Structure 1
C-alpha cells in the first residue's frame, strides 16, 4: 500500500436551490481545473435572506486532492 499525500484548498459554493447543490457546484467547478480530487469537508454553512425567504445557500469547503508527482500545477 502506498502512502498518500494531499494538498488542501478552500472553496465556496453557492446555490439558489439547496446546500447539496452548493456543494456539488463547488466540486464540479474545482474538478474542472484540479486533478485527483479525493474528498471534501464542509466547514461553514450560511445563506442569504431576502424578503423573509432564503435566497441563496452558501458553503465553505475544504477540498483535498492527492499529489501524484512533484510537478503539481494549480490553475486559478
Structure 2
C-alpha cells in the first residue's frame, strides 16, 4: 500500500495559468520526489492598465512517501 501526501503550492506566471502550474510542479520537484498528480485548486490574476499582468495558481501536489 502506498502512502500519499498532499502539499499546497502557490505559483505565478506572466504567460498563462498553465505556465504557472508547470512552474509550481517544476519547483516542487526540486525537493519532492515521486510526484503523482497536480490539482489546480484556484486561479486568479492581477490586472495592470486594463490588461492581465500576472496569472496565479494555487495547486495541490500529491506525491508518494517512501
User: Does TM, scored on the shorter chain, surpass 0.5?
Assistant: yes
TM-score by length of 2: 0.96
Partner of 1:26: 24
TM-score by length of 1: 0.84
Deviating above 4 A after TM superposition, structure 1's stretches of 4 or more consecutive aligned residues are: none
Q: Which has more radius of gyration?
A: 1
Structure ranking higher on relative contact order (CA contacts 8 Å, 6+ apart): 2
Structure 2: 5+ residue runs without aligned partners?
Answer: none
Give the Å deviation of 1:57: 0.3
Q: Please, what is the CA RMSD of the aligned residues?
A: 0.6
Structure 1: 5+ residue runs without aligned partners?
Answer: 69-76
Structure that is richer in strand per residue: 2
Find the aligned partners of 2:2 and 2:43 in 1 and give their Cα distance.
Answer: 29
